[in-house]
Each structure stands twice: as C-alpha cells, then as structure tokens.
Amino acid sequence: MTATASIIGIITSLCVFVFALQKFSRQMQYAAGDKMREILHSLTSTPLRGTMIGTLATALFQSSTATTVITVGLVDAGLISFTSSLGVIFGANIGSTVTTQLIALNLASLAPIVLISGFILERIKVGWQKYGRALFYFGLVFFSLAVMVLFIEPLKDNPILLSTLGSISNVGQAILIGLLVTAVIQSSGVVSGLAVILVSQGLLTFEQAVGIILGANIGTTVTALIASIPLHTNARRAAVAHLLFNVLGVVIILPFLGPVIDFIQYIDGATAQEVANFHVLFNVVSALLFLIFIRPFARFIEILVKDKK
C-alpha cells in the first residue's frame, strides 16, 4: 500500500470515527428524551452530586461537549444554579476519559458484534429497539478505529511522517496542537483517542500524547463558549468557568508533569494504557482540587463575568 493510499484511508476512517461518535451521542440523547435534562436538574443540588452526574452523563453520551452545552442551557433557564453547574462541568471532564480507556483496552475486536447487534435490534419490535441505532453507531466508532489502525500500520516506518511527528519537540507544542485540532473538530474524545492510537503504533511518544490530551482538554471548551455568547450572565459564567477550569488544570500540572509521568509509567501497562491512565488521573485530580476551592473559584468567575448593564 502506498503512503498516499494510507493517508487517504486514515482520513476516511477518521471522518467515519467523528461521524459515528457524534451520531452515537445524538442517538443517546434522543433515546433518553428529556430525562438527561431532568436528571441534571434534580440531582445537582450540591457540587459533589453535580460532579457525579456530570461524570455519568458524559460517560453514557460520550460527549463532554453535549453535557456542558446542556448544562449552560439549564443555567440560562434558571433550572440549576451557577455554583451547581460547576460540579457538572468538573464531572464532564472525568467522563470524557472513558473514550480513551475503551480505545486503550483495544475493544475493536468486539466492534463487528456490537455493529451487527445494533443493526438487528433496531429492526425488531422490542422494548429496547430505540437503543439499536445508538448501539450500531457505538460499534461503528470502534470499527472505524480498527480500520484506521490498518491504514496507519504501513506508515510506521515512513520517514516523512516520522520527521513530522518528531518535530513536536516539547509538551508546549503538543498542547497547542491538541488545542487547535480539538477547537476545529469540536471533539476532545476524537483527538484524545487518536493520540492513544498513534502511541500504540509507536508514532507518538508518551510525552507528545500527554501534551495533545492536555491541549484537547482546553480546546473542548470552545463550543460552550460560543453557545453562551447570546445567553444570560450565569450561563456565560458557566462557559468561562469551564475554560478556566481546564486552562488552570493544565497550568497547575505542568510543573509536576515529570513526576506524574514517572508515576504513571511505574504502574505496569502498555504505553497506550499509560496515556489513558494519565488522562483519568489528570481529570480526577483537577476535579477534586477545584471542588475543594469551588466557592472562591465561583466567586472569582462572578467578579470576572459581571452582569450586563
């Protein structure tokens, strides 16, 4: 297979991956109806509960963007308070790590079974029929990843690709790349998942992948920021809080990145699994840290984003 054919195949499978992930998220939201909004509204009375709900919702719908945008909408409607929304936003970041864990666990071999099951389930009249299409798209997510790996394999020794990826000389550059790519395609799950795949194929180093994931965490805030522009003050505060939470999380961890990486690598596991584990550790520690200081953080955001006169 030529390098050109491999690159076209990678781009095609990446497009299918993005399409399937977005469709899965929308199908799950459709299948749940208004239940997701009701759950977010009723079970976010405290920041800790909000964090748990945000984690579960994002893990289920495979979209931190969907969880955050819905949360911003609920804040704008006055259904949940600004402070309560912070917990959901913290939880959304934790829930977003599920995608990288599933990819690192190499569940691609199960993709055909999930695909076929979803296809059949959608076509038979049973109580779970409405979840058939969502199951189909979930299988398509991992099927596209399996195909992508097949196209990446021939490029592992390509000097041009190795030189290009090798030019990412520091974590700062990797963070910027992850931020920009995520802001464009509006899915941190896609970017983080791709980083795990490239690490598993030996095309990215552990440090490069970590930087891309940190950048993806920041880039994923763009959608909620844009959605909040025409909304009320508290909704804009929630979107700005999401941005600052992710930016400050990255800033805080950077001085300790070396020891954290050493700790992750000390735990036995393949490199791809180590990257996924770092993703979990970073988001969980960030959420716990900000939960401790949630009230001063909320007050800071309230001062920063003032009411329109």
Asked, for residue 162, whether it belongs to a domain, the answer is: no
Asked, for residue 85, whether it belongs to a domain, the answer is: yes
Asked, for residue 29, whether it belongs to a domain, the answer is: yes
Phi, psi of 76 (to 5 degrees): -60, -35
pLDDT at residue 214 in the model:
94
Mean pLDDT (the chain) is 82
pLDDT at residue 161 in the model:
66
Asked, for residue 309, whether it belongs to a domain, the answer is: no
Q: What is the pTM of this model?
A: 0.80
Give the pLDDT confidence of 180-237 residue by residue, as tens digits: 888 877 777 778 888 888 888 888 888 899 999 999 999 888 877 887 888 788 888 9
Q: Find the domain containing 218 and state its range.
A: 3-156+168-304
- Tell which residue, 56, 93, 50, has the closest CA to residue 74: 50
Asked, for residue 9, whether it belongs to a domain, the answer is: yes
Give the pLDDT confidence of 147-172 residue by residue, as tens digits: 887 887 777 767 776 677 777 878 88
Give the pLDDT confidence of 84-132 residue by residue, as tens digits: 888 888 898 898 888 788 878 776 677 888 889 888 888 887 767 777 8
Helical H segments across the chain, by residue range: 3-32, 35-42, 47-61, 64-76, 82-95, 97-104, 111-121, 132-152, 159-166, 171-185, 188-200, 206-219, 222-228, 233-253, 257-266, 271-292, 294-304
Residues across the chain = 309
Asked, for residue 163, whether it belongs to a domain, the answer is: no
pLDDT at residue 3 in the model:
72
Asked, for residue 54, whether it belongs to a domain, the answer is: yes
Give the pLDDT confidence of 251-284 residue by residue, as tens digits: 999 999 989 988 888 876 678 888 889 999 999 9
